[in-house]
């Protein structure tokens, strides 16, 4: 539908929040280990990737990359980015509390559930908006976060800048390779991104299996 594609960033952001609540009621509720979250995210991402390909196969919305971004997409991306950043700064002072054991956060009367939900909604909005433009991102940030954690042993606050920087670099690299690798044929950014993330995901699985 042309109207849906015009406001695809907004639709994608709202769909991201819907997926968040679906995950919270299923995978996140049953298993809290990172490996189950990532696997659940990958399964959901592959499902929605297949769904978007089917729905948009006759609309010209193929080969998703930064090259097909419109000004309407840019405006909605900026609105969602600025709005999410406002709440991120508002609640950012609470991030160190997540490094504490649960018993200590209860003693400090820290509203962990409310703050965690706020951060998750912000992440879902950003991920959904980016997915609407680039295609399914296959949870690059989640994989990179766990990879940096394994390699550096840094806390959650110290990891955030590294995760943000490397996630942006990874997506830019995937988009560039997708555009030039088989020029003039353009590959979908999400497919190249998945190819780049595959070794990191295998590395994490091996590390976690040894730990178990």
Quickly count: other Cβ atoms within 10 Å of residue 120's Cβ.
Answer: 16
Cβ proximity of 131 and 12 under 8 Å = yes
Cβ proximity of 72 and 61 under 8 Å = no
Domains of the chain, CATH where assigned: 2-211 (1.10.3470.10)
pTM score of the predicted model: 0.59
For residue range 134-148, what is the model confidence (pLDDT) as tens digits? 666 656 777 888 888
Greatest Cα pair distance, the chain, in angstroms, is: 60
28 secondary structure, DSSP code:
H
For residue range 35-86, what is the model confidence (pLDDT) as tens digits? 566 666 666 666 666 666 655 555 544 445 666 677 888 888 899 989 888 8
- pLDDT value of position 41: 63
What residues form DSSP beta bridges with 185? 182
108 secondary structure, DSSP code:
T
């Amino acid at each position: 539908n042309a109207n849906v594609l015009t406001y695809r960033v907004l639709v994608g952001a709202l769909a991201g929040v819907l997926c968040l609540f679906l995950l919270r009621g299923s995978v996140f509720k049953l298993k809290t280990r990172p490996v189950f979250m990532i696997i659940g995210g990958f399964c959901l991402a592959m499902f929605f990737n297949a769904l978007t390909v089917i729905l948009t196969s006759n609309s010209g919305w193929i080969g998703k990359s930064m090259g097909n971004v419109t000004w309407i997409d840019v405006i909605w991306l900026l609105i969602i980015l600025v709005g999410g950043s406002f709440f991120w700064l508002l609640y950012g002072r609470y991030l160190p509390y997540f490094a504490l054991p649960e018993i200590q956060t209860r003693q400090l009367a820290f509203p962990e559930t409310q703050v965690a939900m706020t951060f998750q909604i912000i992440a879902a909005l950003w991920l959904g908006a980016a997915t609407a433009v680039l295609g399914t991102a296959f949870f690059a940030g989640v994989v990179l976060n766990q990879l940096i954690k394994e390699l550096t042993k840094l806390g959650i606050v110290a990891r955030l800048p590294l995760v943000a920087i490397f996630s942006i670099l990874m997506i830019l690299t995937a988009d560039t390779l997708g555009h030039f690798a088989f020029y003039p044929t353009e590959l979908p950014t999400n497919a190249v991104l998945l190819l780049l993330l595959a070794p990191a995901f295998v590395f994490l699985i091996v590390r976690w299996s040894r730990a178990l």
